[in-house]
Amino acid sequence: MVTLKYGNTRIAVDNEGFLDEKEIWNEEVAKIIAEREGIKPLDSGKLLIVNFMRQYYFKHHNFPILGNVCKKIGAHSKDCVVREFVNPMKAWKIAGLPKPPNIFFTSFDKKKYIPNPFY
**H or E stretch at 60:** helix 44-60
Number of domains in the chain: 1
Cα–Cα distance, 52 to 54 (Å, whole number):
5
Cβ–Cβ under 8 Å, residues 11 and 4: yes
| Residue 119 clears pLDDT 50, i.e. is over it | no
Q: Are 48 and 73 in contact (CB under 8 A)?
A: yes
Q: For residue range 24-72, what is the model confidence (pLDDT) as tens digits?
A: 999 999 999 999 999 999 999 999 999 999 999 999 999 999 999 999 9
Instruction: Provide the domain limits for residue 95.
Output: 2-115
